[in-house]
Amino acid sequence: MWTRRRAQNGGDPFAHEREGMVDRQIAARGVRDPRVLDAMRATPRHRFVPERAREFAYDDRPLEIGHSQTISQPYIVAFMTELLEPGPDDHVLEIGTGSGYQTAVLAHLVKRVTTIERVAPLAEAARNRLADLGYCNVAVHAGDGTRGRPEDAPYDGILVTAAGPRVPDSLRAQLADGGRLVCPVGPRETQRLVKVTRHGDRFDELASIGCVFVPLLGEEGWHA
């Protein structure tokens, strides 16, 4: 059985900043799900950014994490998570592990997270970081996320943290009936978040807010 050992926040010097981040940047902009807000309060974002950027960890912006990748703006992480509608018994696939921050937020909310990162050094660093923080319901893999991970499918939710020209067909196919997928879709310069809900052989799509993400590279995404 997959379990998560909650990280201890006693003596956390960033606790006040994190609370302010949730109140001013996230709840004030309309994210209402109390489980998502609690997960954002519980996840130490400063542990998922380079040490040189820790003083900016709770600012309202993305931050570079190396290898031409970023950790997303806190509001976007919360908004995408709420849009996904994660349930406590869900198995969620994340495409684009990055530093592991979105992974950790999801780990507070679901039974199991499988996450795939294209850049092998980032995958290894995220795996070690998540283990050090006590997240035991996460499996990190290096590879082409556009193809998903069919051996662990179906997934109740799929969250894609890079932008593709369209939703990869492989990811649609790996959604469980009733499952939800959230993905930034559009040209490289600017995109919209798209939510896909599967109903048998039918896939309903809902376009949401505009956004800008790094490109989703791979067989069913952009080619470098």
What does residue 116 show for φ and ψ, rounded to 5 degrees? -125, 130
- Amino acid letter for position 175: L
Active site residue 170: no
| Cα 109 from Cα 115, distance rounded (Å) | 15
Cis peptide before 154 (omega within 30 of 0): yes
| Paired tokens of 1 | 């059985």
Strand-pair partners of 169? none
Cβ neighbour number for residue 222 with a 10 Å cutoff:
16
Q: Find the DSSP H helices in 165-219.
A: 169-173
User: What stretch of H or E contains 132?
Assistant: helix 120-132
Got the DSSP string for 64-117?
EEETTEEEPPHHHHHHHHHHH---TT-EEEEE--TTSHHHHHHHTTSSEEEEEE
Q: What is the CA radius of gyration of the chain?
A: 16
| Cα 208 from Cα 205, distance rounded (Å) | 10
Among residues 72, 99, 170, 208, the one annotated as catalytic is: 72
Catalytic residues: 72
